[in-house]
Amino acid sequence: MTILLPDTATLPAPLGGTLVHALRRPGHDFDPAELRGLPRLSLSERSAADLELIATGAYSPLRGFVGESDYLSIIGRMRLADGTPWSVPITLPVAREQAQALNGRVVLTFGGQDVGWIDVEEKFDAHKSLEAREVYRTQDQAHPGVAALLAQGNVNLAGPVALFDVPRGAFSHHHRTPAEVREVIEARGWRSTVAFQTRNPIHRAHEYLQKVALELVDGLLLHPLVGATKGDDVPAATRMKAYEVLLEGYYPRERTLLSVYPAAMRYAGPREAILHALSRRNYGVTHFIVGRDHAGVGSYYGTYDAQDIFSAYTPEELGIQILKFEHTFYCQSCGQLVSPRTCPHDASHHLVLSGTRVREKLRAGEPLPAEFTRPEVAEVLREAYAEQG
């Protein structure tokens, strides 16, 4: 049974009004012997992450993997069937032949260990072409999100879930559930908190955006995604080390919280920006930064599509304020970080390094400009790439 925790009075209400809590501890909440003889399903890395995010309330109001009515409503109008804003279907896909044997309570496993269960209430066919076209805005198999969608099973299982334990893993010191992040925010007395989503090491432009936002609010939740990403993204362990050295020297400790976001990347651009914002509301955040090409990949999305898409909802529906920033860069003539709104100079004056170019310089052992990233961060990245050979 899913338990709903009442929200505190001082923080924004979770989406749906209450924070879902579906942790069920073996030996405390149920007898592990009850699991004997039940069918088992091995989860992918993404589905295991989704299980945690559902069960800890990060995906409130979802209490399980979505059914067909919610699935089609999310795809078609970016809302659950009851009208609640939601932009990306959170599904549990399996192969058709596998689905036939999965009925009632099914034990979910990951890495060879029992991690939770789903009470299967529904099975339905995935509409992959429709999902790709509407959610990812492309059916191009070169898109990593579309490729993952097409590779997964054709039947989705739906129903409420339980999680046996929070898998804090390699980043246990920074791994907090939404309820735990809310506790920190309350303990620090932050009346307003801005979250920053990143899957890359923080460079000076990111730092600029965060500190501009921190002038407006009480606290900053630096919330890097540490779930599955595409192969050429900087590994999570390297990114976390870079965040730690940066926060040590350049951020006010009492106004900054580093905590991991255990989701997998879908690279769904605008749709994923909404998902990232709504889930941060569930963590107790009042503001969320959306910059240039949030959650994008390649050239599939317009530069500011991820900002424009929020107009589909009223501010009251979102329940979190979106801070929209333009592309930020170092101008050699201005001598500082600027944006097109504040800089009069053309691109020949700007220092802009693509992720590809950064990786090329690191592999070649070349230094990164101090105007682009802090020396301490550059050193972490240089050492990581040197170890890779």
Same domain as 213, residue 132 = no
The residues assigned a catalytic role are 199-200
pLDDT in tens, 336-359: 999 999 999 999 999 988 777 887
Same domain as 361, residue 287 = yes
Same domain as 152, residue 220 = no
pLDDT in tens, 80-132: 999 999 999 999 999 999 999 999 999 999 999 999 999 999 999 999 999 99
Domain residues for the domain of 272 are: 172-388
Across the strands, what pairs with 311? Answer: none
CATH number, domain of 196, equals 3.40.50.620
Which residue among 141, 163, 185 closes a domain?
163
Same domain as 244, residue 380 = yes
Same domain as 153, residue 189 = no
**What torsion, rounded to 10 degrees, do the Cα atoms 186, 187, 193, 196 define?**
-120
Which residue among 142, 163, 184 closes a domain?
163
Helices assigned H by DSSP within 138-235: 144-151, 178-188, 204-214
Look up tokens 């709504």; give the residue: 278
Which residue among 98, 128, 163 closes a domain?
163
Same domain as 305, residue 195 = yes
Residue 207: how many CB atoms within 10 A of its CB? Answer: 19
Same domain as 176, residue 157 = no
CATH number, domain of 144, equals 3.10.400.10
Q: What is the mean pLDDT of each run of 10 residues along the chain (389 residues)?
A: 48 96 96 96 98 98 98 98 98 97 98 97 98 98 97 98 96 97 97 93 91 96 94 87 94 97 97 98 98 93 97 97 94 95 96 80 86 92 81
Same domain as 27, residue 134 = yes
Q: Which helix (H) or strand (E) holds 288?
A: strand 287-290
Same domain as 178, residue 147 = no
Same domain as 133, residue 235 = no
- Compute the residue count for the chain: 389
Specify the long-range contacts of residues 248-253, CB closer than 8 Å, at least 24 apart.
248/376, 249/374, 249/376, 250/207, 250/374, 251/220
Same domain as 125, residue 199 = no
Same domain as 211, residue 152 = no
Number of domains observed in the structure of the chain: 2
DSSP code per residue over 172-192: GGG---HHHHHHHHHHHT-S-
Q: Evaluate whether 141 touches 147 at the Cβ level (below 8 Å).
A: yes
